[in-house]
Amino acid sequence: MNEKALLVVSFGTSHPETKEKTIEAIENDLAAAFPDRRLYRAWTSSMLRRKVKADTGEHIDSVAEALARMAGQGITDVLIQPTHLLAGEEHDKLCRELESGKAAFSSVTVGKPLLAAEEDIAVLAALLPGLCPSLGAGELMVWMGHGSGALRLPVYQILDGLLSQNGHPDHTVGTVEFDPGFDAVLERVRQRRPARVILAPLMVVAGDHAVNDMAGDDPDSWQSRLRAEGPAVTCVLRGLGEYEAIRALYVAHARAAKPL
Ligand code: CO
C-alpha cells in the first residue's frame, strides 16, 4: 500500500509566538492543500532544536530523524517542502541529508524554497508592497533579510532592483549578515531623506534577528542606527510566514515539487 507523507522543513525559531504564526501556519496551509498526506515536521537548525527542547521540553526532529520516523511508520511516498526563503546553506544541508536518506522510500519529491529562481523574486517583488500599509510621501519601507554567502542568484539585489523598477523606490532591501548590508540601507536613507522609516523582516519568522538586530533597543540595532540618522522609525514584527499570500507561494511550490 502507498502511504503518503508531507514533510515540512524549517530552519526553526526559539520564539514560540512567531513559531505558531509562521512555521505552524505554513505547515497548516500545506497540510490542508495535501489532505491525503500525513504531516511531519523537521528543523534544520540543531541549535534551535536544542533550545526549544531546553525551553519547553518539545522534541523537534532533524531531517534525518523525520526520515527515519516516516520510514518506521510505513511511509513510502514523501513530499518535502522547505519553508526556507532561499537556496542557501540551510537548503544545501537539507539536500545533502535527503540524498543519503531517500533510499528508504519509493518516491521522494521536493518543492523549492520561496526564492529559488528569478521568476520567484519577481513574484515576491510584486507582492511585498501590498503586505505593508501604503506609504505616504516621506516614508521609506526597509525589508531586513538574513542574507547568505552561498547564493547562485543575487536574490536581494534583484529584489531591490525590481521594487524600484516596479514604481516602488520607497521600498528597499538589506541583510543582517551579508551583502547588501546595513550600509546599503543607510545610503538609500541618505538619498531619500525620509521623515519615517518602517522596518520589517524579510524573513519567514520574526525571531532573534528581527527582535534584536532589527527592532532591539541597543545602539547597534537597525532601529537605533536609523533613528540616529534623523527619521522616526517604526518596526513591524511580522515574519513573512504570517501573510497568507506568502504561504500560498509555498503551497504552489509544493504542488510543483520534483523528484529528488
Ligand atoms: Co543569523
Domain ranges of the chain: 4-113+242-259, 118-240
Angle at 134 between CA 132 and CA 138, to 5 degrees: 110
- The alpha carbon of 208 and the centre of ligand 1 are apart by a number of angstroms equal to 8
The rounded Cα 197 to chain-centroid distance in angstroms is 22
- The alpha carbon of 175 and the centre of ligand 1 are apart by a number of angstroms equal to 10
**Contact of 203 with 196, CB cutoff 8 Å:** no
- The alpha carbon of 148 and the centre of ligand 1 are apart by a number of angstroms equal to 9
CA atoms of 167 and 188, how far apart (whole Å): 15
Q: Where are the beta strands (DSSP E) in 63-154?
A: 77-82, 107-110, 139-145
DSSP 220: T
- Closest by alpha carbon to 135, among 196, 55, 53? 196
- The alpha carbon of 106 and the centre of ligand 1 are apart by a number of angstroms equal to 36
- The alpha carbon of 178 and the centre of ligand 1 are apart by a number of angstroms equal to 10
The dotted CATH code for 4-113+242-259 is 3.40.50.1400
- The alpha carbon of 252 and the centre of ligand 1 are apart by a number of angstroms equal to 27
- The alpha carbon of 147 and the centre of ligand 1 are apart by a number of angstroms equal to 8
- The alpha carbon of 203 and the centre of ligand 1 are apart by a number of angstroms equal to 11
**Contact of 5 with 66, CB cutoff 8 Å:** no
CA atoms of 9 and 63, how far apart (whole Å): 7
**pLDDT at residue 1 in the model:** 65
- The alpha carbon of 223 and the centre of ligand 1 are apart by a number of angstroms equal to 17
Q: Is the pTM of this model over 0.85?
A: yes
**pLDDT at residue 2 in the model:** 80
Instruction: Flag residues of the chain having pLDDT under 50.
Output: none
For 37, 46, 80, 90, 119, the CA distances from 32, given in Å and listed in that order, are 9, 28, 15, 26, 25
What residues are labeled active site? 146
**Domains 4-113+242-259 and 118-240 alike in fold:** yes
The dotted CATH code for 118-240 is 3.40.50.1400
- The alpha carbon of 129 and the centre of ligand 1 are apart by a number of angstroms equal to 25
CB atoms within 10 A of CB 63: 22
**Contact of 99 with 260, CB cutoff 8 Å:** yes
- The alpha carbon of 187 and the centre of ligand 1 are apart by a number of angstroms equal to 23
